[in-house]
Amino acid sequence: MDSYEPGAYTEGVMRNVNFLTSTAIPEFVTQVNVALEALNKNSLNVFDDNQLVDISKKIYDTIHDIRCSVMMIRTPEELEDVSDLEEDHEVHSHTSIQTEGKTDRAKMTQLPEAEKEKIAEQVADFKKVKSKLDAEIEIWDDTSNDIIVLAKKMCMIMMEMTDFTRGKGPLKHTTDVIYAAKMISESGSRMDVLARQIANQCPDPSCKQDLLAYLEQIKFYSHQLKICSQVKAEIQSLGGELIMSALDSVTSLIQAAKNLMNAVVQTVKMSYIASTKIIRIQSPAGPRHPVVMWRMKAPAKKPLIKRENPEETYAAVRRGSAKKKIHPVQVMSEFRGRHVY
């Protein structure tokens, strides 16, 4: 984290790391020592193994949170889709309820084909909006811009929620989706604080009004997403046939996520425009620092000189070094002297 400037990203990572080192690991060591002492005294019947199980789960959840916080600023191409690998070895997130039977995510794959097609259409529209957000945020350096960090975080969580509606992704239960919606709401609130600071400093009333309007949209759609996050694939028996009913709640969830992402796209754009209109004022207390730094991301490094394949170079030299033998008679026959008039 020393390579990044202080901000929401580094604070989130270090907060989880400090909790692991200062709280979770010491508690785990204490419980292990208690278990070893009970084992040496042959008094395991007195030992409460539930405490050891709870602290072990706390270790796992904390490491999971560290991993998620580190990957917040990664691009979608850098993130690996591990949902297929998790099918054989089911693990429960810290928001998941451990229940017997199939997960809510698995039930989504049992929907009728007609409903799956409608969900696929909604997801396709959602991905179009996501591509707009990717195009808007990928040009900015996020090491000193918490608005971009929060936009990436919200985008990643919304992708996980839409993957859940297709029976994929890391979210397995409805409780996971509800917790994801809560995380989006928290990120939206933090973005609201930063963007309102920019709006308060912006001297252009029209830009300020537009930015505040988009912030109200984020607040509204975040609340709507929390309501729609209670997706349940209920099994009903109609005429002796099992019918899965979840289409209305699923489409509402995807639509709310699409509307929220549209609002995030416009907020990022308007935050940059408003930042460019802020007048740098030298106050007696010192210069007023910007809320966030809008720096373009450095392009990928490319070699100045194209490197040639050694085999191709060797072949070219070998062809060039070969001498063509020409018979002297052929040379003399090709010779043409000057015409004398």
99-287: in CATH 1.20.120.230: yes
Q: How confident is the model at residue 158 (pLDDT cuts 50, 70, 90)?
A: confident
Over range 314-325, report the average pLDDT: 56
Helix (H) or strand (E) holding 178: helix 174-201
pLDDT at 333: 67
Give the tens place of pLDDT for each residue, 202-225.
888 899 999 999 999 999 988 888
Q: How confident is the model at residue 329 (pLDDT cuts 50, 70, 90)?
A: low
For the full predicted model, state whether its pTM sits above 0.95: no
Domain residue extents for the chain: 1-73, 99-287
Of the two residues 118 and 194, the one the predictor is more confident about is: 194
pLDDT at 283: 45
Q: Are 95 and 179 in contact (CB under 8 A)?
A: yes
Q: What does pLDDT average to over the chain? A: 74
Residue 339: burial class (beta carbons within 10 Å; 0-12, 13-18, 19+): exposed
Domains 1-73 and 99-287 share a fold: yes
Over range 86-113, report the average pLDDT: 54
Query: What distance in Å separates the CA atoms of residue 276 and residue 279, rounded to the nearest whole number?
Result: 8
> How would you classify the pairing of strands 234-238 and 286-287?
unpaired
Query: What distance in Å separates the CA atoms of residue 75 and residue 135, rounded to the nearest whole number?
Result: 11
Over range 140-153, report the average pLDDT: 87
1-73: in CATH 3.30.413.10: no
Give the tens place of pLDDT for each residue, 159-180.
888 888 788 888 887 788 888 8
pLDDT at 305: 66
